[in-house]
Homo-oligomer: A and B are copies of this chain.
């Protein structure tokens, strides 16, 4: 009886963005573990047990998955997007590091997925076409001072930026402060893209210059992209194309 554990990325929402590799792992699984809305994306079938849990219990969920794999289960931990980008892979390895030594010898694999910023960037054009950074704006697990420091340095480095978890009902003020930092560091023509629920029926895309970016344009289903100083806007009928050129001047 040899179990395994896979931490798999389901992509941003559309089934046509789930990789065949992830699909194959789900087809072989005995158990699927994850946050309720992600587990809801997995079809029920005989021989498969779905274990849906609430948000903010990532470590408990990880331990449960590891225990089932150790007992011989074929366990898939599902994340939306890519499991290695602000998602379940780190939680599982946090549990492995402090858990029983036998967990280290488990067959553990991470299967990549289409992460939200890349799906959003594709919809907008190619705003992340040059050097960029990804910052989780939630201060649940890190101090706000670190977020603010990273925002300032990222602006000084002239990175394009992607913000995950920009805003929640529990933390309405963080994104407001993030926009203030950006306005202090960046010129007014900097484009800001609000991409919500990309690849789902609820998808919306909005492009505004930095001074017009407002906190209530984002929620927890939104990824926010900010251009670099070199980012261009191509006007046309409908939503403009936003892209960052490959070259930078001397």
Contacts and interface: CB of A to CB of B under 8 A. Distances in A.
A90 B135 CA distance: 22
A112 interface: yes
Contact of A136 (B86, B90, B131, B249): B131
A234 B96 contact: yes
Interface string A112-148: 1111001101110111111111111000011100100
Given A114-B114, A159-B150, A125 B234 contact: no
Interface in A51-94: 58, 82-87, 89-94
Contact of A143 (B82, B83, B115, B250): B250
Contact of A17 (B19, B159, B247): B19
Contacts of A143: 248-250
B132 A89 contact: no
Nearest to A159: B133
A56 to B, nearest CB: 11
Nearest to A12: B112
A193 to B, nearest CB: 12
A199 to B, nearest CB: 9
Nearest to A111: B122
Size band of the A side of the interface? 35 or more
A150 B134 contact: no
A129 B234 contact: no
The complex is assembled from copies of this chain, and their number is 2
A170 interface: no
A149 B157 contact: yes
Given A89-B126, A118-B115, A232 B97 contact: yes
A246 B141 contact: yes
Given A91-B246, A129-B89, A14 B21 contact: yes
Contact of A85 (B83, B109, B128, B156): B128
A155 to B, nearest CB: 9
B234 A118 contact: no
B90 A142 contact: no
Nearest to A233: B97
A110 interface: yes
9 contacts: A16-B24, A89-B126, A89-B129, A94-B245, A112-B119, A133-B134, A142-B247, A142-B248, A153-B154
